[in-house]
């Protein structure tokens, strides 16, 4: 009852003063200005994804708003009552100091919640114009702001309890908070060990992952312990006002016998024990950290591929990182490396400042800031950075000893794995294959009598002209011998390719896929967004992310399957709102209807087929042995022992080009396809995403009128309403006093 009465009294004090409304209005005006500025820079930079761009910067800016707001609202908590003498009067009643403290703390926290809640207007207004606002990603930022705000309040209450001047309390609170903010600024003056310790107690560095979109249990416990400790100090400061007695330090016995001195010694010992206990609990929480990743693509968690590789790590792996620059770089690197260590204790790391370890850096060949060296089982690899994709690629090459060769067919205008052109090049795809320990080589079938014997698979990537019969005959012989082929074919008339693939149960039509419903925001209908996968096919068994196929054609399995074909299954389909529009003059199959002046077949449309073929020439099976519904007949002993040949056909080659490979799940789909064709199913997985190479697919564009409205709503209207409300409350109170 006492706690509730004090809580209500403090709330009335806050919401009954015009000054409180003015402080809140100023805080909202600053928040609105930061949001307007952040969104302006966001659009100028071309539009990174909202979670890692706009909201991350905005949450960092809101910290500074709280840095100014909290000292102003906590300064009067105890200082004013001490100055007026009402606090001493309060102690004449049997009221516990804890009730007074918690009542004031909860009232200030309520005001903080009101301010944070009012800032939700900004994403609400933005979602009105831009539908790509992902609300769950905002939760960690607001949780972090609430926790750091509670810490600010606890510090402000302590300093308000130590003085009777509101100005001194506000300035002292601001000074202490700025000190905790700047602890890690002068990293050159301390060693790596001291820098790591300072980072552990730096309030603002602890907020780093909250702003990015993740909640860590160790950060929650840190903030809880931090403001609990300051509340404990405040409680002891309030109790000290009831202690009486004077004494001089004539002897230890006299000092301890003096009531006030004895109390302070007891308090000091108690605080030390509590502090040690909190440090121990925090250490335990760091070792058993739990992370909740709220980012849309789980970019702050280790990928399945990384976790799978770390599970195979059975020897010590040491990563040495040479960093330089601001502590933000240290924090960013350590956040990534801690995830590896938490997954497998065999993985260890050390972060060294390069300027202080020049000799060791030269020994390793680390010439730049951010360079890392990974050592494992007598092997050593120099890495250009310490991001998850880079480390995972190095681990992949260490753990996978065997190298397989992928041949890309040339001579028909195919996408070139050596070209860096955005639309026509496959250099990024080739680099991704090398990172997974493949050897990439070209092959010209017109100049050779057979496919090279060391080929793990052969890729035909977007030919602009039809392949010659002799070239297809060589591919057929390679396939009948148990080889693997990957065709990525754009919409074109290619009778030789069409007849060749028909032998293996894959049917191509002269059409173009058109999907006006499932497409990227701002994309066209000829670039369908695919999210329907046949999980019975190993390539996409756990696939949960969309893929994009610009200017694609339909690819369907034949029904019935030709002899010699064990199975042919579609595994990538468009949504039901898609259409396969046939070219003028092309043969239209059954089910085609008139659509926008052309013949078209309604969706879902298959864009990819995976087939397995018996290791002999097609047509060798008897008609009675012909499989139905994509299933294989009983195989003999020799046939069962020999692995079947594999074939994958995509109706598009642009999805793996340099301009599209990093979009959504295109990279994973391409690499999973190669791993399945190379018969390495254990490497089919979700790979880490490198934010530095992610294409900007969700560009935010606002009109001049919309930005003007945003300015008026966030910086003028909302703070103005709060000031008007404060004026009305003040006027109401004056009239009732009369």
CA distances from 17 to 22, 360, 636, 644, 731 (A): 9, 62, 90, 81, 10
pLDDT at 619: 40
User: Which residues 6+ apart lie within 8 Å of 186 measured at CB?
Assistant: none
pLDDT at 92: 64
Domain ranges of the chain: 2-294+710-737, 304-392, 403-688
| Average pLDDT along the chain, 738 residues, taken 10 residues at a time | 83 83 92 88 60 78 91 87 72 75 92 93 86 82 94 92 88 88 60 62 79 87 86 81 44 47 64 69 70 80 86 89 73 82 88 84 86 89 86 85 89 91 90 90 91 93 92 92 93 88 91 78 72 90 86 90 91 87 62 63 89 68 38 42 84 92 89 92 78 47 79 91 88 74
Is the distance from CB of 474 to CB of 666 less than 8 angstroms?
no
Helix (H, G, I), strand (E, B) or coil at 157: helix
CA distances from 444 to 206, 239, 481, 674 (A): 56, 88, 19, 20
Is the distance from CB of 525 to CB of 577 less than 8 angstroms?
no
Which tokens in the block code for residue 376?
A: 């494992």
Domain topology for 403-688: Rossmann fold (3.40.50)
Per-residue pLDDT tens over the stretch 680-720: 888 888 877 655 444 444 456 677 788 888 889 989 999 99
H, E, C per residue of 203-252: HHHHCHHHHHCEEEHHHHHHHHHHHHHHHHHHHHHHHHCCCCCCCCCCCH
pLDDT at 56: 84
Report d(CA 429, CA 443) in Å as an integer: 17
pLDDT at 279: 65
Q: What is the DSSP track for 506-543?
A: EEE-SEEEE-SSSB-TT--TTSBEE-EE-TTSGGGTT-
Rg of the Cα atoms in the chain: 34
pLDDT at 179: 83
Domain at 304-392: CATH code:
3.40.30.10
Q: Which phi and psi angles does 455 have, rounded to 5°?
A: -75, 120
Whether the link from the prior residue into 135 is cis, omega within 30° of 0, is no
Whether the link from the prior residue into 298 is cis, omega within 30° of 0, is no
Which tokens in the block code for residue 359?
A: 């000799």
**Torsion, CA 540, CA 663, CA 707, CA 719, rounded to 10:** 50
H, E, C per residue of 402-432: CCEEEEEECCCCCCECCCCCCCCECHHHHHH
Contacts 24+ apart (CB under 8 A), 329-335: 329/369, 329/370, 330/187, 330/195, 330/199, 331/199, 331/205, 331/208, 332/208, 333/370, 333/386, 334/199, 335/208, 335/209
The 3-state DSSP composition of the chain as helix, strand, coil percent (nearest 5) reads 50, 15, 35
pTM of the model as a whole: 0.68
Q: Which phi and psi angles does 257 have, rounded to 5°?
A: -75, -20
Report d(CA 459, CA 417) in Å as an integer: 10
Strand order in the sheet with 565-573: 438-443, 404-409, 455-461, 484-488, 645-650, 606-613, 565-573, 532-533
Of 373, 312, 366, 367, give the one whose Cα is nearest residue 344. 312
H or E element in which residue 459 lies: strand 455-461
Q: What is the DSSP track for 355-409?
A: GG-HHHHHHHT--STTEEEEEETTEEEEES---HHHHHHHHHHHH----EEEEEE
User: Which residues 6+ apart lie within 8 Å of 556 measured at CB?
Assistant: 506, 507, 509, 570, 606, 609
Is the distance from CB of 484 to CB of 647 less than 8 angstroms?
yes
pLDDT at 580: 83
């Amino acid at each position: 009852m006492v706690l509730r009465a004090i809580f209500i009294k403090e709330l009335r004090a806050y919401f009954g003063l015009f000054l409180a409304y003015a402080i809140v209005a100023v805080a909202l005006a600053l928040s609105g200005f930061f949001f307007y500025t952040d969104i302006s820079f966001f659009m100028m930079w071309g539009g990174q994804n909202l979670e890692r761009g706009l909201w991350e910067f905005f949450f960092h800016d809101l910290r500074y708003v709280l840095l100014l707001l909290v000292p102003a609202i906590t300064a009067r908590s105890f200082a004013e009552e001490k100055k007026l003498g009402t606090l001493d009067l309060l102690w004449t009643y049997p009221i516990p100091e804890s009730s007074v403290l918690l009542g004031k703390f909860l009232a200030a926290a309520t005001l903080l919640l009101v301010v944070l809640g009012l800032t939700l207007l900004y994403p609400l207004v933005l979602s009105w114009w831009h539908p790509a606002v992902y609300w769950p990603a905002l939760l960690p930022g607001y949780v972090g702001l609430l926790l750091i705000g509670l810490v600010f309040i606890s510090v402000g209450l302590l300093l308000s309890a130590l003085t009777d001047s509101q100005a001194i309390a506000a300035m002292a609170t601001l000074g202490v908070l700025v000190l905790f903010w700047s602890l890690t600024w002068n990293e050159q003056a301390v060693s790596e060990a001291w820098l790591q310790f300072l980072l552990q107690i730096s309030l603002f560095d602890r907020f780093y992952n909250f702003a990015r979109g993740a909640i860590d249990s160790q950060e929650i416990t840190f903030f809880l312990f931090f403001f609990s400790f300051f509340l404990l100090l405040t409680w002891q400061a309030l109790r000290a006002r009831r202690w009486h007695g004077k004494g001089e330090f004539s002897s230890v016995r006299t000092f301890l016998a003096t009531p006030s001195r004895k109390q302070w010694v007891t308090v000091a010992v108690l605080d030390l024990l509590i502090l040690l206990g909190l440090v121990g609990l925090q250490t335990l929480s760091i070792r058993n950290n739990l992370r909740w990743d709220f980012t849309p693509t789980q970019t702050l968690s280790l990928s399945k591929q990384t976790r799978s590789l770390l599970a195979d790590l059975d020897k010590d792996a040491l990563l040495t990182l040479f960093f330089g620059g601001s502590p933000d770089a240290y924090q960013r690197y350590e956040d990534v490396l801690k995830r590896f260590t938490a997954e497998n204790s065999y993985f260890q790391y050390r972060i060294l400042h390069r300027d202080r370890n020049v000799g060791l850096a030269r020994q390793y060949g680390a010439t730049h800031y951010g360079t890392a060296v990974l050592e494992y089982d007598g092997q050593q690899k120099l890495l250009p950075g310490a991001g998850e994709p880079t480390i995972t690629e190095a681990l992949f090459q260490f753990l996978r000893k065997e190298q397989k060769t992928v041949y890309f067919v040339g001579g028909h205008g195919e996408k070139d794995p050596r070209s860096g052109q955005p639309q026509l090049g496959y250099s990024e795809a080739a680099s991704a294959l090398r990172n997974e320990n493949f050897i990439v080589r070209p092959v010209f079938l017109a100049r050779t009598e057979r496919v090279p014997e060391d080929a793990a698979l052969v890729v035909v990537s977007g030919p602009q002209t039809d392949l010659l019969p002799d070239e297809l005959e060589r591919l057929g012989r390679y396939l009948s011998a148990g080889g693997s082929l990957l065709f990525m074919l754009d919409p074109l008339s290619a009778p030789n390719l069409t007849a060749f693939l028909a032998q293996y149960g894959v049917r191509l039509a002269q059409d173009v896929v058109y999907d006006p419903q499932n497409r990227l925001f701002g994309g066209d209908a000829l670039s369908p967004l695919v999210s329907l996968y046949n999980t019975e096919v190993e390539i996409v068994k756990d696939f949960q992310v969309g893929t994009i196929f610009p200017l694609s054609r339909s690819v369907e399995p034949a029904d019935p399957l030709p002899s010699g074909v064990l199975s042919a299954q579609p595994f990538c389909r468009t949504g039901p709102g898609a259409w396969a529009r046939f070219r003028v003059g092309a043969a239209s199959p059954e089910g085609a209807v008139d659509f926008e002046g052309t013949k078209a077949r309604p969706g879902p449309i298959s864009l990819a087929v995976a087939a397995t073929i018996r290791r002999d020439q097609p047509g060798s099976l008897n008609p009675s042995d012909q499989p139905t519904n994509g299933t294989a007949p009983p195989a003999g002993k020799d046939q069962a022992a020999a692995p079947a040949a594999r074939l994958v056909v995509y109706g598009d080659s642009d999805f793996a080009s340099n301009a599209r490979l990093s979009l959504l799940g295109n990279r994973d789909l391409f690499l999973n396809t190669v791993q399945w064709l190379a018969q390495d199913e254990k490497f089919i997985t979700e790979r880490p995403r490198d934010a530095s190479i992610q294409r900007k697919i969700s560009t935010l564009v606002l009109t001049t009128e919309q930005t003007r409205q945003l300015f008026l709503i966030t910086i003028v209207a909302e703070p103005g309403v709060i000031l008007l409300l404060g004026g009305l409350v003040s006027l109401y109170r004056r009239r009732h006093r009369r």
